[in-house]
Structure 1
Amino acid sequence: MLKRPFRLLGTGPRAAARQAGVLIVVAGLLALLGMVNDPQHTDRLVTVALCDLVLAAVAFLFPWGRTGRYAPAAIGLAGFAVIGLSTWSFGGVAAGTGPFLVLLYAWAALHFPRWILLAFLVPATAAYLVPLILTHQPRMVLGSATVLMPIALTVALLIEVQTRHLRDDRERLARIEQWRVAMVNTLAHDVRAPLSTIRGVLEELKEDNSGQGVSMLDAALRQTARIARLADGLLDLQRIDNSGHLKLDRETLPAKTLVEDALRYVRPDADVTADVDPELTVHLDRQRFEQILLNLVNNALRYGRPPVVVSFTRDGDFDRLEVRDHGPGIPDTLRQNLFGQFAVGSKDGVGLGLWIVRQLATAHGGQAVAEPRTPGVAMVITFPTHPTPA
């Protein structure tokens, strides 16, 4: 079994401990460097460095994931003790250890609630003052604690408030995402049962009818089948969000037939024409291509002006699908985010159509862009002629 990679960033007791370990390793290395400037206290500085490294080893190696959420706060308490030892080792000079005390407080603010920060105030103050008292520092130096400790606590409380705010926002977004996933999955699954019933009824009616009624029932059956495929597509697109991959069923198909079959789902009175080379063959997933083309054509009919022209041509190593309308076009400020999720919603939709188009184009190894025309706009989808496996 592969071991999980080392992770420094994140939340939870394991990440908190490792981040504290990094700070403590830095403190230990600085203690070793301090022997150069203060060779008279080499033995003390070595002791401080060893204490730092032992504490860092505990921070990195102890199974914090099995402990409580706030268990790594014990590292902070031990860290304050080592800071006090370091100050004493430097003969009561706190110029180097004071900033580490503030950093340790800031680390605690990233991972623990304010009551722990307030509880740290006594041991942190003792870690700062006791070495100064033991080394007989003047009253003015002792008074520096009245400046350092309020600053450390204030900085920590500000960080804690901001971190809590961000954490609450993340949890809220996670709940929204859970509801979104549940809603999409429920809709996609639950729509199949009534569709099966409707399809069965339509097929029975088709057997009992003739003439014009048969063609109408054929159209209804095609639309029913398309809704079923769209439900499957919703599930597939949900998998894109979760895993970043979409399984494609590619085939070598005649482009003209592919376009004409898809356009059968467009209402008969729509002014849509197709300009496709009869000799052109493409290697695509039929169902996904149908979703792409119908999304683009329906958008062109809804937001642009007729005629809508569909062309499919080969351009070097790419097959180029273009759906052009003759409407007012798209503002430059909107075009940049046009294919984003929920980017362009309206009373007629929520802005998912073009996002779906981009996801399906990307799954094929292609791209989706909007190109200005005079008048109108052309939605251009490219597909590689020699696609790599999805």
Structure 2
Amino acid sequence: MWRSIGFDGSAGAARAAAGLFLLAGVLAVLGVAQPHSRGRDLLVVAVADFCIAAAAWWAPWRRLHPRATVALALAGLVVLAFSTWAFGGTAAGTGPFFVLLFAWVGLHHPPWIAYALSPLTAAAYIAPLIATHQPPEVVGSAVVFVPVVTAVAVLIAGRVRQWRRAQDEVAAAERWRASLMLTLAHDVRSPLTAVQGALELLDEDAGLPPEHRARLTAAALRQVARIARLASGLLDVGRVEDGRLKLDLRPVLVRAAVADAVLLTPQADAAVDVEPGLTVVADPDRLEQMLVNLIGNAMRHGAAPICVSASASGGTTTIAVRDHGPGVPPDAVSALFSRYGGGAAPHSVGLGLWIVRELARAHDGDLTYEPAHPGACFVISLPARP
């Protein structure tokens, strides 16, 4: 929905219009005191402006249609038409108010509203000139004037649109940053706790059997590697955005890569359906990162069982990670792979599906989503050979 600068929707637009009409009314009252003024007509204009200002301020705009404030522009055109006629076709005094009215339209409405008002503006400008028998060159000035005021509204509306887009991007970036901080607090604390526990046991009990000591050491090293992968993943975000990501491509056994990813995902319960000899050309670390992310995503947002399968066809290897949860709502599919979408939930991997897709594309592959009925299925496509 179109939102106005510094105001809350239609109510804010109406209050801005109230200020504009109040200004016009005050100027009309001041004009009554001028010598050789048409006091009665100016009073009519002032009363009309004050009435429109009051209606704009007090009307329950939030209960009405979001475009209901366009009625204020129509009322303003009626007052401007009367003013131009009352002063003998002198448009110079009303011209600035036409511009102000269209500037308000541009600030608070999309461009098509300005285009729709253009014929009515031409009528409000030309009809009083014809009624007061103005010369053709004066009437013809509408050919320039009406497009100019319309262009003012369209240009302002375009700038407002850019401003709103920039504001939305900043807000999305802030949400992503907050989510990333939660992710770091969650994903780093867990392996650090495991490492600390292993080290404390090794330090407190010098008589541990060698096999027990070896298991504790291996568990601690796995958790340290997990932290290192998280740090590497965070660095990959900047590398992908700057085009500096380097890949160490080599043949990788898909079954072994999937098994390692399942092992590295805490509490993962995934069924693996991959032929033992299936090979893909990939950077082993990046492939592991993609698989851990997708399996973790399936655990958080889906439901058991989680299935990881792979197949090769036509020089392309596809790896599918499927869950049996509620799936992705249709209205959310378009945002799955956006820069700040897909991974913004608290306790997520923090990088989201965006980084997984970018890593897949860096391999000349891709990441796609397929409804699974029930559940969701994310498919990585990678070259099977160089």
TM-score normalised by the chain length of structure 2 = 0.51
Q: Structure 2 CA distance, aligned partners of 1:353 and 1:369? A: 14
Which residue is 1:379 aligned to?
A: 378
* Residue 275, structure 1, aligned to residue 273, structure 2: yes
1:188–1:231 Cα contact (<8 Å) kept: no
Q: Structure 2 CA distance, aligned partners of 1:331 and 1:152? A: 45
Which residue is 1:71 aligned to?
A: none
Q: Structure 1 CA distance, aligned partners of 2:234 and 2:349? A: 14
Q: Structure 1 CA distance, aligned partners of 2:221 and 2:287? A: 20
Q: Structure 2 CA distance, aligned partners of 1:182 and 1:346? A: 11
2:172–2:340 Cα contact (<8 Å) kept: no
Which residue is 1:266 aligned to?
A: 265
Task: Please give the residue correspondences for 1:96-111 in structure 2 after superposition, counting only pairs within 5 Å.
Answer: none
Which residue is 2:225 aligned to?
A: 225
Cα deviation code 1:41-63 (max 9, x no counterpart)? xxxxxxxxxxxxxxxxxxxxxxx
For 1:357, give the aligned amino acid.
Answer: V
| 206 and 289 in structure 1: CA distance in 2 versus 1, 3 angstrom threshold | farther
| 155 and 379 in structure 1: CA distance in 2 versus 1, 3 angstrom threshold | closer
How many Å apart are 1:302 and its aligned residue? 1.6
How many Å apart are 1:171 and its aligned residue? 5.7
| 323 and 163 in structure 1: CA distance in 2 versus 1, 3 angstrom threshold | closer
Which residue is 2:240 aligned to?
A: 240
Q: Structure 1 CA distance, aligned partners of 2:273 and 2:169? A: 46
Which residue is 2:365 aligned to?
A: 366
Which residue is 1:158 aligned to?
A: 153
Which residue is 1:85 aligned to?
A: none
Task: Please give the residue correspondences for 1:169-180 in structure 2 after superposition, counting only pairs within 5 Å.
Answer: 169=164, 172=167
TM-score normalised by the chain length of structure 1 = 0.51
* Residue 299, structure 1, aligned to residue 297, structure 2: yes
Q: Structure 1 CA distance, aligned partners of 2:231 and 2:144? A: 60
1:184–1:234 Cα contact (<8 Å) kept: no
Q: Structure 1 CA distance, aligned partners of 2:164 and 2:308? A: 44
Q: 2:315 aligns with which of 314, 317, 332?
A: 317
2:338–2:354 Cα contact (<8 Å) kept: yes
Which residue is 1:82 aligned to?
A: none
Which protein has greater RCO, CA pairs closer than 8 Å, 6+ apart?
2
How many Å apart are 1:384 and its aligned residue? 0.9
Q: Structure 2 CA distance, aligned partners of 1:308 and 1:185? A: 25
**Alignment RMSD (CA, Å):** 4.4
1:250–1:284 Cα contact (<8 Å) kept: yes
Task: Please give the residue correspondences for 1:16-95 in structure 2 after superposition, counting only pairs within 5 Å.
Answer: none
| 146 and 368 in structure 1: CA distance in 2 versus 1, 3 angstrom threshold | closer
Q: Structure 2 CA distance, aligned partners of 1:186 and 1:372? A: 30
How many Å apart are 1:236 and its aligned residue? 1.9
Which residue is 2:352 aligned to?
A: 353
How many Å apart are 1:289 and its aligned residue? 0.8
How many Å apart are 1:155 and its aligned residue? 3.0
- SS of the aligned residue for 1:143 comes to helix
Percent of paired sites with the same residue: 35
Q: Structure 1 CA distance, aligned partners of 2:172 and 2:340? A: 14
Which residue is 1:289 aligned to?
A: 287
Structure 2 unaligned blocks of 5 or more: 1-102, 104-133
Cα deviation code 1:81-107 (max 9, x no counterpart)? xxxxxxxxxxxxxxxxxxxxxxxxxxx
| 216 and 181 in structure 1: CA distance in 2 versus 1, 3 angstrom threshold | same
How many Å apart are 1:383 and its aligned residue? 0.8
2:327–2:376 Cα contact (<8 Å) kept: yes
Q: Structure 2 CA distance, aligned partners of 1:271 and 1:182? A: 30
- SS of the aligned residue for 1:264 comes to helix
